[in-house]
Amino acid sequence: MMKKTISMVLAMILMLSLAACGPKGNVDAPDKGASEAPAAEKEQSMTLKLAHIRPQGSVADEDIRAFAADVEKRTNGTIKFEIYPASQLGDYTTVLERISIGDVDMQIAPIGTNLDKAFGISYCPYLVQNWEEAKKVYNSDGDLVSNMAAICEKNDIKLIGTYPLYFGGIALTKKPKDPANVDVREETKIRVPNMKAFDLTAQELGYISTPLPAADTFTSMQTGMVDGAIGYGAEGYYSNYRDLIKYYLPINDHFELWYACLSSATWEKMSASQREAITAAAKAMEEKRFGEAEKQEKEYEEKLTAAGIEVIQFTDEQLAQFAKIVREKVWPQTKADFNEEFFNSIVEKYNLVK
């Protein structure tokens, strides 16, 4: 009788041990943040925190609010948003980290390289030189954006769409000596995003680079810590710094594309229909922007002029010379961070160096 009792106890212990070690012991299980996680079985109503970096009332703010209204309509009100403009939840690099851990639901903004250096490929200087190239390379169905989505997925982020803006330039609080001549050292200190490619590009074009978070740029220019900035375009400088800057140089150094990034934790809570709705709304926003952004780029240069800011234009030959120098001197030092093989495949596929 005693042996029978002991056998039963041992059998029960074995069964409990197997239950405890079941699925959790599967080393091949998908990552928790994988974007292909099954949709929630039961649809639930939710209010998402959505951050962006432009002031309230700006073009981007209005577009993002229209996107939020579109999502609410498509989901019959089951998804709503609390919108936080003007970096109210922190610098965009910090907010992306918060999205990664599920502390913030969503952001539409640039993607910094703090989570992964490979994100920097999106802002590679002089990767594209005109809108025709930009529409091919930065299409959300293309290789580059798909690559960005895969990197996001590794960081528990779901990339659902893009928001194209403009080609970038340099804004200054004091007049440059000879901005078309890269052999002239400007002795002008400018803020650069905390990305090696921006840092090196500013130096090659004759400026003293100072990496700073976007949120610190206004105060740094206001106090004279820096004399200008690179990393924005006409709309960005007009929306944020038109009361400080005196000169704008549209050098077309990078193509500015923002990404609609959703926390994987939030994505996993959504039903299939909610996922379809928010993705469709993001695609609609992207298509609308590509139809408007090129025209708005020129409009905002005119607005800068109307605000008393001198826009220093460059010839096509001068812009081509900037691109040549940066491609020769900066690309070899940075493309390894982007995954050199993939970077070269993008350049070759779209014939970006002719």
Query: Of 162, 173, 155, 199, which Cα lies nearest the Cα of 282?
Result: 162
Place of tokens 């106090």: 223
Order of all β-strands in the sheet with 169-172: 208-211, 189-192, 228-232, 169-172, 247-249, 310-311
Is the model's pLDDT at 41 over the cut of 80?
A: no
The closest alpha carbon to 142, from 157, 126, 125, 164, belongs to 164
Give the strand order in the sheet containing 255-263. 79-84, 46-51, 106-109, 255-263, 157-167
The predicted model gives 223-234 an average pLDDT of 97
Q: Which class for 12: exposed (0-12), middle (13-18), buried (19 or more C-beta within 10 A)? A: exposed
Eight-class DSSP state of 119 = G
CA distances from 159 to 64, 274, 288 (A): 16, 15, 18
Average pLDDT, the chain: 90
Amino acid 25: pLDDT: 31
How many angstroms from the chain centroid is the CA of residue 271?
Answer: 26
pLDDT in tens, 303-320: 999 999 999 999 999 999
Q: What is the pTM of this model?
A: 0.87
